[in-house]
Amino acid sequence: MPYAYISGTGQNIPPRVVTNEDLVDVYGIETSHEWIVQRTGIESRHFSAEGVGTAELAEPAARAALERAGIAATDLDMIVFATLSPDYAFPGSGVILQRLLGVAEAKSPKFVPALDVRNQCSGFLYGLQVADSMVKSGAARHVLVVGAETHSAALDLTTRGRTVASLFGDGAGAVVVSATNEDRGIRRIALGADGRHAEVLCQKVWDIRQRPFIPVDEDGRGSVAPEMLWAHMDGRKVFKNAVMMMIGSLMQVCGDEQVEFDDIDLFFFHQANMRINQYVAEQLGLPPEKVPHNIQRNGNTTAATIPTLLAECVESGTLKPGMKIALVAFGSGFTWGAALIDW
Q: Given the residues 12, 20, 241, 300, select the one marked as catalytic.
A: 300
Q: In one letter, which amino acid is 20?
A: N
Within 10 A of 3 (CB to CB), how many other CB atoms are there? Answer: 18
Q: Given the residues 46, 121, 142, 254, select the one marked as catalytic.
A: 121
- CA-to-CA distance for 70 and 333, rounded, in angstroms? 36
Q: Given the residues 46, 151, 270, 293, select the one marked as catalytic.
A: 270
239-244: which pairs have CB atoms within 8 A and are 24 or more residues apart? 239/273, 239/275, 239/276, 241/194, 241/197, 241/330, 241/334, 242/272, 242/273, 242/276, 242/280, 242/330, 243/276, 243/279, 243/280, 243/283
Active site residue 270: yes
The DSSP result for 284-313, as a single string, is: HT--GGGS---HHHH-B-GGGHHHHHHHHH
The sign of the torsion formed by the CA atoms of 288, 295, 253, 201 equals positive
Q: Which residues are catalytic?
A: 121, 270, 300
